[in-house]
């Protein structure tokens, strides 16, 4: 497999890999490094790639595992997560800013979900993958995926309602 062929296969989902990495690793720099590293790994195993029916799903699974490893090693070396600078500005009077803040809040809320739910929300609601594909990527049973997804969605919704009723934004 030549480099140009490889890139043709791999480039269409580079953004998805990056977004999943960012969802899990939080900081953009780390996600960029992870993406770079993952594509390098894929390039190294390019001989095997030809055999996979679904390279994209394989890459997503790899991304998930790689990010888990990164998170684990980060905890082991006692590094705290780099705090993401979501603009949690002071309540503005401007209606538009308020709206944008609420949208940003969703990011924060997803941030607070357990890892597994984070991944599933990312794969389903943002990347819009099939349930079958998600099951393969996260190596879970369909019912378990549905339960986790439903739980994640309900949590986010409840938190949003709570924030709005208390007039945070």
Partner 1 sequence: MELANIEKLVEKYLDATTTLQEEATLKQYFTEGNVAPHLQEYAYLFNYFAIAKNEKFTKTIKLEPKKSKKKNLKLWSVAASIALLISVFVGQQQYKEYQQRKEAERIFAQVSKGLILLSTNLKKGEQAVANLYTYENTVNKLLK
Footprint of partner 1 (CB under 8 A): 3, 6-7, 10-11, 14-15, 17-19, 22, 32, 35-36, 39-40, 43-44, 99, 102-107, 125-128, 130, 145-147, 149-150, 153-154, 156-157, 160-161, 164
User: Minimum CB separation from partner 1 for residue 149, in Å?
Assistant: 4
Give dist(CA 163, CA 169) in Å, integer.
7
Nearer to partner 1, 78 or 96 (CB): 96
Nearer to partner 1, 61 or 133 (CB): 133
Phi first, then psi, for residue 127 (nearest 5°) are -85, -15
User: Minimum CB separation from partner 1 for residue 103, in Å?
Assistant: 5
CA distances from 101 to 93, 105, 126 (A): 12, 6, 19
User: Minimum CB separation from partner 1 for residue 78, in Å?
Assistant: 27
CA angle, residues 17, 152, 91, in degrees to nearest 5: 90
User: Minimum CB separation from partner 1 for residue 42, in Å?
Assistant: 9
The answer for residues whose C-beta is within 8 angstroms of residue 78's C-beta and 6 or more apart is none
């Amino acid at each position: 497999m030549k480099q140009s062929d490889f890139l043709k296969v791999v480039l269409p989902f580079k953004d998805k890999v990056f977004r999943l990495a960012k969802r899990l690793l939080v900081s953009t720099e780390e996600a960029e490094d992870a993406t770079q590293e993952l594509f390098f790994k894929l390039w190294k195993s390019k001989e095997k790639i030809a055999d996979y029916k679904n390279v994209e799903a394989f890459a997503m699974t790899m991304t998930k595992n790689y990010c888990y490893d990164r998170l684990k090693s980060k905890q082991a070396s006692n590094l705290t997560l780099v705090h993401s600078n979501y603009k949690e500005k002071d309540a503005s009077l401007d209606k538009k800013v308020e709206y944008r803040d609420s949208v940003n809040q969703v990011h924060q809320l997803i941030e607070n979900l357990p890892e597994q739910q984070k991944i599933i929300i990312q794969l389903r609601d943002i990347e819009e993958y099939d349930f079958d594909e998600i099951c393969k990527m996260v190596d879970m049973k369909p019912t378990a995926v549905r339960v986790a997804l439903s739980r994640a969605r309900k949590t986010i919704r409840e938190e949003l309602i709570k924030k709005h009723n208390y007039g945070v934004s």
